[in-house]
Every structure is written in C-alpha cells, then in structure tokens.
Amino acid sequence: MHVRRQIWLGVWLLLPLWAVSGSAAFAEGEPPNNPSVVERIEGTAKKVGNKIEQGFSKTAKKIEEKHIVDKDERKSKKPATKTAEGFKKAGEKIDQKLR
C-alpha cells in the first residue's frame, strides 16, 4: 500500500509538468492528428501505472489466496497461549507463597 501511495504521489507531482509541457506544445502549433511527445509520454506513463497497479492487485490476490494472515495467526496463537499459561502458573505460585 505504501508503494502505491508513492506511485500516485509521483504521478500527481508530474501532472503539472505534463500540463505545462502540453500547453507549450500546443502553442507551437503542431498538427492536431499527431500526438505530441508529452502526450505520448503521458500515455506511456498511464500504461506503466496500470501495469504496476495490476501487479499489486495480483500480489494482493495471491496473498489472500495463500491465507498468509491466517497462517501467521495460527503460528502466533501457540506462543501466546503458552505465555498466558506461564503467567497463570506464576500467579498461582505467588498466591500459594503469600497464604
């Protein structure tokens, strides 16, 4: 998720640059049927952004399919249970000594 935010931040930071470059290209009087360099770069950037987003989506889907979160929960449940049992036993020993 953090990487996705950085990508969107980069796109939004570059957007004004593209707008300024695009207006300069239009001011030069290029024919409207030929895409300018900025428009081609913009199109390529959009394609790359879409591919990156698809990659993140696929990765997230694989993580969900492999149930990694569930596996981590199962693995951490046993040590947590053992720790709770240890505290309980220690509490009982302290209670016995204080009686």
57/32: higher pLDDT: 57
- Which region, left, alpha or beta, applies to residue 47 given φ > 0 means left and ψ of -120 to 50 means alpha? alpha
With CA atoms as reference, report the closest residue to 43 among 65, 22, 61, 66: 22
Three-class HEC string of 73-88: HHHHHHHHHHHHHHHH
Name the residue ranges covered by the structural domains of the chain. Answer: 1-66, 67-99
Give pLDDT tens digits for 42-90.
Answer: 888 889 988 989 988 888 888 777 777 777 777 777 788 888 888 888 8
Predicted structure pTM score: 0.36
d(CA 40, CA 11): 15
| Confidence check: pLDDT of 23 > 80 | no
Give me the pLDDT at residue 27, please.
54
